[in-house]
Chains A and B, each alone.
Chain A
Amino acid sequence: MTVALPRRKALAAGGLLVAFSCRRARAAARLPGDLQKSPLLDSWLRIGPDGRVTVFTGKAELGQGIATALIQVAAEELDLRPTDITLVTADTARTPDEGFTAGSHSMQDSGTAILNAAAQARALLVRQAAAQLGEDSANLVTRDGAVVAPDGRRLGYGALAAGLSLDVEASAASPLKPPGRFTVIGHSLPRVDLPAKLAGGAAYVQDMRLPGMLHARVARGPSPGTRLRAPDLRGAGAMPGVVRLVRAGEFLAVVATGEWQAVAALRALTASGWEADGTAAGGTAAAAPIDDAAGLPGLPARDLVILDRAGPAPADGARQFSARYTRPWLMHGAIGPSCAVAWFRDGEMTVWTHSQGVYPLRAAIAKLLRLPAARVRCIQVEGAGCYGQNGADDAAADAAVVAQAMPGRPIRMQWMREQEHGWEPLGPGMLGAVRAALGPDGRIVSWEYEVWSNTHSRRPGGPGVLLAGQEMDPPFPAPAPRPIPMPEGGGDRNAIPIYTLPRARCTYHFIPAMPHRISALRSLGAHLNVFAIESFMDELARAAGSDPVTFRLAHLDDARARDAVTLAAARFGWSARRRGADRGFGFAFARYKNLGAYCAIAMEIEVARETGALHLLRVVAAVDSGQAVNPDGIRNQIEGGIVQATSWTLQEQVGFAAGRRTSFDWSAYPILRFADTPGRVDVHVIDRPGAPFLGTGEAAQGPTSAAIGNALADALGRRVRDLPISPARVREAASV
């Protein structure tokens, strides 16, 4: 099923793949994970004279617990206590360039690199100790940060490191511990960052306070395609605490000594109202405004056939079925609006940002500010969870523009709630259409899938995709949107079913013209594609008179996929389920990208036909992420993914009026609250010791939505194929 395409450097332009040189990859054996991109061991870890180890990752902690998992990986292979490890996350001056923290790649790329770098460093430490102790390496063991000889002599890593250089290229093979000896990996180490976060420690970029720091707010119209109408610059500039208004082209920001003063001045600027600015909301010229994903097939598209398996044509007795599924534009909806701190000193710009990609951001900001990239440093500091590209990069650029205008003063730029809602790049609307035929034996004999969507990533994109870049005079040009190629895919991610289908064809109708400002949102196109495929599998199972789990297994050859499906069904008690009145059971499964984690979900829901309220009573998930580094971390990701996808599925839809975004706060774009949180979620982790790490963070999104839709169809006998499955749509499906 996997389509082996050569990766090209150009893929990186799509944003989610790690860029590396194809030529070099061919020239030598491929190094594990991102060692391939940064092969020097000391770019990954350094050993201090005190024996403490600093580990460097180019990935960012986004609340997914990556810091804890990476520390575990290093601690395991170094035989060191996790508390003796300091982790440095993405910083263009200190850490390897690992592209973006996206696509559930962190464990695969960075985790694998650190695992191997640590194992190789340990081997070097042992070799060094062997020389110093006059022992054979084979007789030495490592324990608690020291190399120990059979006679009990020990040399601490700190002492050994003094005579050891890690400025060496990694080799392709590492002396990895056998998984049976793991003591840290596979255990649920408590998150290293939580104690401080729970006690009010400074943990986020929002919490930074630098000497002489000023507070800035950027002033814009309410959403893309608008601008402020005649803002009262003089009045705002004269308000208490206001230090300066910074203008550059259409860019306007207010800077004040106090944060509340900056907010008050911003309100004075916005008071005179806004107007359409004549630009296209999506950054590329779109024809007529499209507010509903059902309209996507009306836009000009480039048709990419991503799967064409010519099997025998369905026989005469085959029954044909078809259905269409849509998803609206969705928001990332970070709880903390985007924020950045920028400081321009001695011609050097430093930006603290919660961007998912500090290196690409540095390149964009350098161009925006017309500085050499070497004079710009971007340091990742946590923000609120982002789930893709939200306003982080835009806010970083906003801060940098202001800081450049006010050299010497650190500038803290924070967006307001309505700016995050109004301007963040959205997850694109999508439409998927399936046609399939069932043979007389109840098996699928042919399958055809088409998906219509914009690109799902505008990264890296340079200054032209950043709001500040678009507001300069002249504006930086926005690059043409491009699809992310398979096998990862963008709008077509997971569009190819994992099931065994004798005859199948999948087409991605890539739509270059973008009606709305969009970029990567957790799981990209996999959300709608899995919703469509897994809903339709259910419809076919029903038509075939087969149990949905049995039907899936009958078309599933991948052994690990079968394990996940079987385990979820078993732990749920699927075969013994008995449906109560207005209750329904739903099942769904996907392997994320057909490359990442496997995730199967079973659930029971209850529907109130009169109100359309749909409540998840009980959810059971089974997930296979390869070698499980931190099982509770995996559970947390899957649980959170299920809850977030429940919110997407039941409630979320960005509002538009004639192409203009109208969702501006949590009242206009509500998300799930406690009352609607599922009653219970149990996640079972399938551990695969020694198997490669598989990204987990996005694996639950599609299966959750599909399982909800399937459970509703089970309860009502009628299906809702358009997301969100809102109370009004449920009422309609229930037809009272």
Chain B
Amino acid sequence: MISLSVNGRTHAVAADPATPLLYVLRNDLGLNGAKFGCGLGQCGACTVMVDGAAVFSCLTPIAVLPGRRIRTIEGLGTAAAPGPVQAAFLAEQAAQCGYCTAGMVMRAQALLEREPGADEARIRAHMQPNLCRCGTQLRILRAVRRAGRAMTGGRRASL
């Protein structure tokens, strides 16, 4: 049994410690957000956050995760009450097939939590690991900037 903290809840998982987190999220915990795209760390479809950083869940064996804080798109908000990054993606309609989208949201979330004011060049460099074949990159960039504005505004408001 390996104990994993996912979206604030602790789960005891009976899986081989070598199993990449992606498979445990999807098949043991029933979370659909992280997607299998390549299993090679080349596309970012599987991106989740671990201790605040964006990581490829397809290459992260659960053996290294006890004691660490895992977040997936399911932890950012719901369809009815989306988090700021999710809301910005909706507002910009930043998807076509949407297969890459959850990974995009998670990578953007990791950036904006540290740097909500990130500029275009910074956002592009940060998002570089994630691929979108439908060509929604321009919408994604708009959504990330929009979310950044919302998150800066929110922070100011709460001060």
Q: Do A665 and B138 contact each other (CB < 8 Å), given the known contacts A384-B97, A385-B96, A644-B133? A: no
Q: Is the CB of A199 within 8 A of B77?
A: yes
A198 at the B interface (CB under 8 A): yes
Q: Is the CB of A640 within 8 A of B135?
A: yes
Q: Which of A48-95 contact B (CB under 8 A)?
A: 62-65
Q: Is the CB of A195 within 8 A of B99?
A: no
Partner of A385, one of B82, B93, B134, B139: B134
Q: Is the CB of B90 within 8 A of A198?
A: yes
Task: Report B-chain residues with C-beta under 8 Å of the C-beta of A672.
Answer: 137
A313 at the B interface (CB under 8 A): no
Task: Report B-chain residues with C-beta under 8 Å of the C-beta of A191.
Answer: 93, 95
Q: Do A199 and B135 contact each other (CB < 8 Å), given the known contacts A382-B97, A417-B39, A632-B93? A: no
A145 at the B interface (CB under 8 A): no
Shortest CB distance B50–A (Å): 17
Task: Report B-chain residues with C-beta under 8 Å of the C-beta of A678.
Answer: 138
Task: Report B-chain residues with C-beta under 8 Å of the C-beta of A198.
Answer: 73, 79, 82, 86, 89-90, 95, 98, 101-102, 105
Q: Can you list, as one digit per residue, whether each of B20-50 has a CB less than 8 Å from chain A (1) or not (0)? A: 1001001100111101111110110100000
B5 at the A interface (CB under 8 A): no
Find the A residue at minimum CB distance from B58: A417
Partner of A387, one of B18, B133, B141: B133
Q: Which of B84-121 contact A (CB under 8 A)?
A: 86, 89-90, 93, 95-102, 105
Q: Is the CB of A335 within 8 A of B132?
A: yes
Task: Report B-chain residues with C-beta under 8 Å of the C-beta of A501.
Answer: none
Find the A residue at minimum CB distance from B25: A200
Partner of A204, one of B86, B99, B124: B99
Task: Give the distance in Å from the alpha carbon of A201 to the alpha carbon of B73 in the complex.
Answer: 10
B125 at the A interface (CB under 8 A): yes
B contacts with A: majority SS? loop
Q: Can you list, as one digit per residue, whether each of A298-338 has a CB less than 8 Å from chain B (1) or not (0)? A: 00000000000000000000000000000000001111110
Task: Report A-chain residues with C-beta under 8 Å of the C-beta of B38.
Answer: 417, 665-666
Q: Is the CB of B36 within 8 A of A337?
A: yes
Partner of A63, one of B18, B129, B134: B134
Task: Give the distance in Å from the alpha carbon of A642 to the alpha carbon of B20 in the complex.
Answer: 35
Task: Report A-chain residues with C-beta under 8 Å of the C-beta of B43.
Answer: 335, 666
Q: Do A63 and B96 contact each other (CB < 8 Å), given the known contacts A675-B128, A677-B124? A: yes
A contacts with B: majority SS? loop
Q: Which of A372-426 contact B (CB under 8 A)?
A: 382-385, 387, 414, 416-417
Q: Is the CB of B40 within 8 A of A665?
A: yes
Partner of A414, one of B19, B36, B93, B99: B36
Task: Report A-chain residues with C-beta under 8 Å of the C-beta of B102.
Answer: 197-198, 200
Q: Which of A4-25 contact B (CB under 8 A)?
A: none
B131 at the A interface (CB under 8 A): yes
Find the B residue at minimum CB distance from A412: B27
Q: Is the CB of A665 within 8 A of B42?
A: yes
Q: Do A260 and B139 contact each other (CB < 8 Å), given the known contacts A199-B79, A200-B33, A203-B98? A: no
Task: Give the distance in Å from the alpha carbon of A202 to the alpha carbon of B32 in the complex.
Answer: 6
Task: Give the distance in Å from the alpha carbon of A416 to the alpha carbon of B31 in the complex.
Answer: 20
Find the A residue at minimum CB distance from B61: A260
Task: Report A-chain residues with C-beta under 8 Å of the C-beta of B132.
Answer: 335
A368 at the B interface (CB under 8 A): no
Task: Report A-chain residues with C-beta under 8 Å of the C-beta of B74.
Answer: 199-200
Q: Do A335 and B42 contact each other (CB < 8 Å), given the known contacts A194-B93, A194-B98? A: no
Task: Report A-chain residues with C-beta under 8 Å of the C-beta of B130.
Answer: 674
Task: Report A-chain residues with C-beta under 8 Å of the C-beta of B12.
Answer: none
Task: Give the distance in Å from the alpha carbon of A131 to the alpha carbon of B144 in the complex.
Answer: 56
Task: Report B-chain residues with C-beta under 8 Å of the C-beta of A336.
Answer: 35-37, 45, 99
Task: Report B-chain residues with C-beta under 8 Å of the C-beta of A640.
Answer: 96, 134-136
A604 at the B interface (CB under 8 A): no
Task: Report B-chain residues with C-beta under 8 Å of the C-beta of A194.
Answer: 89-90, 93, 95, 98
A258 at the B interface (CB under 8 A): yes
Task: Give the distance in Å from the alpha carbon of A225 to the alpha carbon of B95 in the complex.
Answer: 36
Q: Is the CB of A193 within 8 A of B98?
A: yes
Task: Report B-chain residues with C-beta under 8 Å of the C-beta of A263.
Answer: 39
A639 at the B interface (CB under 8 A): yes
Q: Is the CB of B97 within 8 A of A260?
A: no
Q: Is the CB of B23 within 8 A of A259?
A: yes
Task: Give the distance in Å from the alpha carbon of A194 to the alpha carbon of B101 in the complex.
Answer: 10
Q: Is the CB of A674 within 8 A of B40?
A: no
Number of B residues, CB within 8 Å of A: 58
Find the B residue at minimum CB distance from A630: B93
A673 at the B interface (CB under 8 A): yes
Shortest CB distance B24–A (Å): 8
Task: Report B-chain residues with C-beta under 8 Å of the C-beta of A385.
Answer: 96-97, 99, 133-134
B51 at the A interface (CB under 8 A): no
Q: Is the CB of B82 within 8 A of A195?
A: yes
B64 at the A interface (CB under 8 A): no
Task: Report B-chain residues with C-beta under 8 Å of the C-beta of A333.
Answer: 133
Task: Report B-chain residues with C-beta under 8 Å of the C-beta of A579.
Answer: none
Q: Is the CB of A636 within 8 A of B139?
A: yes
A641 at the B interface (CB under 8 A): yes
Q: Can you list, as one digit per residue, whether each of A176-209 has a CB less than 8 Å from chain B (1) or not (0)? A: 0000000000001011011111111111101101
B127 at the A interface (CB under 8 A): yes
Q: Can you list, as one digit per residue, whether each of A254-265 has a CB less than 8 Å from chain B (1) or not (0)? A: 000011110100
A542 at the B interface (CB under 8 A): no
Find the B residue at minimum CB distance from A64: B96
A575 at the B interface (CB under 8 A): no
Most buried by B among A63, A199, A414, A666: A199
Most buried by B among A62, A196, A332, A640: A640
Partner of B133, one of A64, A206, A334, A675: A334
Q: Is the CB of A200 within 8 A of B73?
A: yes
Most buried by A among B89, B93, B97, B132: B97
Q: Is the CB of A641 within 8 A of B82?
A: no
Task: Report A-chain residues with C-beta under 8 Å of the C-beta of B15.
Answer: 258, 260
Shortest CB distance B139–A (Å): 7
Partner of A666, one of B105, B125, B131: B131
Task: Give the distance in Å from the alpha carbon of A263 to the alpha carbon of B26 in the complex.
Answer: 15
Find the B residue at minimum CB distance from A619: B138
Q: Can you list, as one digit per residue, whether each of A233-270 has a CB less than 8 Å from chain B (1) or not (0)? A: 00000001000000000000000001111010000000
Task: Report A-chain residues with C-beta under 8 Å of the C-beta of B129.
Answer: 673
B78 at the A interface (CB under 8 A): yes
Q: Do A643 and B95 contact each other (CB < 8 Å), given the known contacts A200-B32, A336-B36? A: no
Partner of B96, one of A65, A209, A261, A414: A65
Partner of A207, one of B32, B39, B136: B32
Q: Is the CB of A675 within 8 A of B32?
A: no
Task: Report A-chain residues with C-beta under 8 Å of the C-beta of B127.
Answer: 674
Q: Is the CB of B86 within 8 A of A199?
A: yes
Shortest CB distance B15–A (Å): 7
> 23 interchain pairs (CB within 8 A)?
A62-B97, A194-B89, A197-B98, A198-B79, A199-B79, A200-B32, A209-B27, A215-B27, A258-B15, A261-B16, A335-B43, A335-B97, A337-B36, A385-B97, A387-B133, A417-B38, A417-B40, A417-B42, A640-B135, A666-B42, A667-B42, A672-B137, A674-B124
- For the A-B complex with A384-B99, A680-B138 known, give 4 more contacts whose Cβ atoms are closer than 8 Å: A259-B27, A335-B132, A385-B97, A671-B131
Going nearest first, the 5 A-B pairs with the smallest beta carbon separation are A63-B97, A643-B135, A640-B135, A385-B97, A200-B33
